[in-house]
Amino acid sequence: MSNPFENAMMQLKRATAVQPFPEAFMKQISTPNREVRISIPVMMDNGTLEVFEGYRVEHNNARGPYKGGIRYHHNTDINEVKALAFWMALKCAVANIPMGGGKGGITVDPKILSKNELEKLSRGWARGMADILGPKKDVPAPDVNTTPEIMAWMNDEFMTISGEKTLATFTGKPLDKGGSEGRGAATGLGGFYVFDVLREKFNVAPGASVVIQGFGNVGGNAGEIFVANGYKVIAMSDSKGGIVKDDGLDIKALEEWKKTNGTLAGFPGSRIVTNAELLELPCDVLIPAALENQITADNADKIKAKFILELANGPITPEADEILYKKNIPVVPDILANSGGVTVSTFEWEQNLKGEHWSEMDVNAKLKELLNREALAIYEKSVAVKTDLRRAAFIVALERIASAMGY
Ligand code: NAD
């Protein structure tokens, strides 16, 4: 398995080969400002004590407080969190929101924890990191396997430890605990807005066929939004595997099916595919919405999609990027395509700081306006410097960060 931070640095090298930046800036932007590792002891329900490893990486805060989610996964390690923190710094710059980049995580399979153990673990992470967090310092949010409820536990723990009565330290909270309207679906919806403004540039017709890898917050919401806008989602998958239905899936019915049966397999009218096969299905639009390193040098040549929208972070390795570029398959990069999540998280932070509550219509309208503008800016940059959207997005982000750092 390739190291995500090394991949991120390779992406940086590819982009800055197209447009170079000052050497001193390159040294700074290649290194996180701070890496924190903590031990989190949790008394388990069976009376034994387990110690979990937690992380927070603060990559760069030239444009504002560090911002980025917290991931719970058995494969999460410091290199993954470092890569994700770096991408967050670029993503916030691409979205042009006043935030820097950070990311957190715990090496754990949360599915084997009871709710009581999960709460203790989450409060433990917030307690261990309290010194470096705060609305003007570092503002975490949910990521893979973390939920609004977990954000509410963490914010509560932070308030107890710091004595600071503020809701603005964590975003992605439940609505009744200071959350924002629209945050749940923001990453999927933002992805659709970006797709909708760019698809014409790449001749993707309305109503095209869509394949989605991942059926969590991002993949599930994206599926519903694409279907609601007239697209045909022909395949979806989760960590156990995928299903295909050539005449299109009813995503709400599939959600119900998974709730009842615990798996996508057996959904009426569908056939089973592996996750590897799903990525290689013929389709107009492929949306990786699960984890990193899914399209690599091993399978990039077999991809038959005409257009890729990266809603997961880091699903395509740099080697695969090169292959897809040569095959003329446009890729809308993660730092643009999935920036709707951090954008509405930032709206939540702003509402908490001002004591306001915006309507869902207002939130979505602001999101659309901002992403339309920034997606077009990245497209125009890609045309101006004759490169792909990922390298163009990196260049725009680096220009903005460098300017904030006085370069
Ligand atoms: P989630 O935990 O809600 O869902 C993850 C989904 O991926 C689940 O359906 C899981 O079964 C599936 N999955 C895991 N391993 C898989 C595999 N090998 N093959 C296929 N499916 C697999 O997480 P999420 O919040 O939806 O995040 C998904 C991706 O989007 C991550 O890369 C995350 O960093 C990124 N992202 C999330 C947000 C957000 O707002 N939640 C914002 C930006 C980016």
pLDDT in tens, 226-241: 999 999 999 999 999 9
Average pLDDT of the chain to the nearest whole number: 97
Question: Which of these three, 277, 307, 337, is where a domain ends?
Answer: 337
* CA–CA distance, 318 with 14 (Å, rounded to integer): 8
pLDDT digits (tens, 9 = 90+) for 241-262: 999 999 999 999 999 999 999 9
Does residue 260 share a domain with residue 150?
no
* Catalytic center residues: 103
Token pair belonging to 217 = 């917050």
Token pair belonging to 65 = 């407080």
Residue 173 resides in a domain: no
Which residue's C-alpha comes closest to atom 27 of ligand 1?
A: 144
- H-helix or E-strand spanning residue 30: none
Secondary structure tally for the chain: helices H, strands E: 14, 12
Ligand 1 atom nearest the C-alpha of 242 is 20
Does residue 152 share a domain with residue 273?
no
Does residue 253 share a domain with residue 131?
no
Does residue 278 share a domain with residue 144?
no
Ligand 1 atom nearest the C-alpha of 186 is 40
pLDDT at 1 over 90: no
Q: Strand ranges (DSSP E) for 190-264?
A: 209-213, 232-238, 241-244
* CA–CA distance, 101 with 163 (Å, rounded to integer): 25
* CA–CA distance, 331 with 262 (Å, rounded to integer): 32
* CA–CA distance, 273 with 235 (Å, rounded to integer): 9
pLDDT digits (tens, 9 = 90+) for 119-140: 999 999 999 999 999 999 999 9
Which residue's C-alpha comes closest to atom 28 of ligand 1?
A: 290
Per-residue model confidence (pLDDT) at position 169: 98
pLDDT digits (tens, 9 = 90+) for 157-205: 999 999 999 999 999 999 999 999 999 999 999 999 999 999 999 999 9
Q: Which residues line ligand 1 (CB under 6 A)?
A: 142-145, 187, 213-219, 237-239, 275, 289-291, 311-313, 338, 341
Reported confidence tier of residue 405, pLDDT bands at 50, 70, 90: very high
Reported confidence tier of residue 2, pLDDT bands at 50, 70, 90: confident
Q: Which of 275, 291, 336, 363 to probe ligand 1 with, by most ligand atoms within 8 A of CB?
A: 291
Q: Which of 90, 239, 263 to probe ligand 1 with, by most ligand atoms within 8 A of CB?
A: 239
**C-alpha 74 – ligand 1 centre gap (Å):** 14
Query: C-alpha angle 7/64/398, rounded to 5°?
Result: 40
Does residue 139 share a domain with residue 207?
no
Per-residue model confidence (pLDDT) at position 76: 97
**C-alpha 164 – ligand 1 centre gap (Å):** 32
Residue 306 resides in a domain: yes
**C-alpha 46 – ligand 1 centre gap (Å):** 30
Which residue's C-alpha comes closest to atom 17 of ligand 1?
A: 239
Ligand 1 atom nearest the C-alpha of 215 is 9
CATH number for the domain that contains residue 138: 3.40.50.10860
Mean pLDDT, residues 76-94: 97
Residue 6 resides in a domain: no
Do 370 and 190 form a contact (C-beta atoms < 8 A)?
Answer: no
Q: What is the pTM of this model?
A: 0.95
Share of the chain above pLDDT 90, in %: 99
Which residue's C-alpha comes closest to atom 29 of ligand 1?
A: 312
Per-residue model confidence (pLDDT) at position 165: 93
CB atoms within 10 A of CB 355: 8
**C-alpha 165 – ligand 1 centre gap (Å):** 31
Does residue 196 share a domain with residue 333?
yes
pLDDT at 326 over 70: yes
Ligand 1 atom nearest the C-alpha of 84 is 34
Does residue 220 share a domain with residue 92?
no
**Residue 285 vs residues 68, 231, 233, 309, 310: alpha-carbon distances, Å:** 27, 10, 9, 7, 10
Return the SS3 of 407. Answer: coil
CATH number for the domain that contains residue 314: 3.40.50.720
Residue 175 resides in a domain: no
Question: Which of these three, 288, 310, 337, is where a domain ends?
Answer: 337
The phi, psi pair for 22, rounded to 5°, reads -55, 145
* CA–CA distance, 46 with 260 (Å, rounded to integer): 29
Instruction: Find the distance separating the first CA and the last CA of the chain, reported in whole Å.
Output: 36
**C-alpha 71 – ligand 1 centre gap (Å):** 10
* CA–CA distance, 44 with 346 (Å, rounded to integer): 35
The domain in which residue 123 lies consists of: 30-168
pLDDT digits (tens, 9 = 90+) for 13-46: 999 999 999 999 999 999 999 999 999 999 999 9
Ligand 1 atom nearest the C-alpha of 314 is 32
**C-alpha 288 – ligand 1 centre gap (Å):** 9
Does residue 285 share a domain with residue 190?
yes
pLDDT digits (tens, 9 = 90+) for 200-220: 999 999 899 999 999 999 999
* CA–CA distance, 33 with 54 (Å, rounded to integer): 17
Number of domains in the chain: 2
